[in-house]
Amino acid sequence: MSRHLHPALLSLSLLVLLPGDAGARPPLTVAPLSPAEAAAEGIPTAEGDVHGLKIHDRAGEHRLVLTRVASATTAGSVDGRTDLIQLRATSYRRAKGGWSPEWVIRDEIQCPGLDIAAAFFTDQLTVTDLDGDGHYEATVPYRLFCGGGVDSSVIKVILRSGEKKLAIRGESRIKSGPNEWYGGSHQLDKALDAKENRVFKQHLLKVWQRVYIEQPGD
């Protein structure tokens, strides 16, 4: 089976979740950020697919920028085919003189001579305040693939909020016949068992359920 790349930036249906009683906290607001706006604000973006969000929480203004860069490396590429895809999600906070990085999610896949794919599931990107502390959390799901047949992709769903990082990592589940499936295993970070992280665990599992099923040809 031949694989084609998932669109790196899908149409966004951004989910913003707040606890039931927001009290007097400033509201969490989210709006699109275009590559042109990011450049005008002095926020670095790589050459490639770019997706951005403007976020405001109790700490002030933030920018969340997702980039996907596909390239043919000098060694190992076949006829200029893409054999390296790099994904990056960076949160910036407004500081004196510009924007300061808060945290970064980096990943990549290098795959010479085989089918390669990597993309954010931007239609499942979420910005939340699940614990009600007024600080935003971003949940960033994405997939990585290198193979030559009907193989599962690597799936990761990562939640970041300041220094907090929680994740589910596993593989896609693929339908290989009318009633035949394989793959789909996953592992949760041990920190998700902690009582204070219960709400994050529930949220991550919901996002996982929305992204880990893969149909042949995806």
pLDDT of residue 19 exceeding 80:
no
Predicted local confidence at residue 97, as pLDDT: 82
Nearest to 140 by CA among 37, 68, 61: 68
What is each CA distance from 91 to 69, 80, 118, 135, 161, in whole angstroms? 18, 32, 20, 13, 9
**For residue 25, what pLDDT band results from cuts at 50, 70 and 90?**
low
Residues 92-112: pLDDT tens digits? 999 888 999 999 999 999 998
Nearest to 166 by CA among 140, 191, 133: 191
Residues 31-60: pLDDT tens digits? 999 999 999 999 988 777 899 999 999 999
Predicted local confidence at residue 102, as pLDDT: 96
Burial class from Cβ neighbours inside 10 Å (0-12, 13-18, 19+) for residue 131 reads: middle
What DSSP designation does 5 have? P
Per DSSP bridges, beta strands 49-57 and 29-33 are antiparallel
Predicted local confidence at residue 1, as pLDDT: 34
Residues 156-206: pLDDT tens digits? 999 999 999 999 999 999 987 778 888 999 999 999 999 999 999 999 999
pLDDT of residue 80 exceeding 90:
no
Beta bridge partners, 51, equal 66
DSSP, collapsed to helix, strand or coil, labels residue 128 as strand
C-alpha count within 13 angstroms, C-beta hemisphere, residue 139: 29
Dist CA 119 CA 68 (whole Å): 7
pLDDT of residue 4 exceeding 50:
no
**For residue 209, what pLDDT band results from cuts at 50, 70 and 90?**
very high
Q: Which among 70-79, 144-153, 202-211 has the top mean pLDDT? A: 202-211
DSSP, collapsed to helix, strand or coil, labels residue 35 as helix
Q: Which two tokens stand for residue 21?
A: 């009683």
Predicted local confidence at residue 9, as pLDDT: 36
- pLDDT averaged over the chain? 86
What is each CA distance from 112 to 56, 64, 78, 82, in whole angstroms? 41, 31, 7, 8
What is each CA distance from 26 to 18, 37, 57, 61, 171, in whole angstroms? 12, 24, 7, 12, 38
Dist CA 110 CA 45 (whole Å): 21
Every domain of the chain and the residues it spans: 15-214
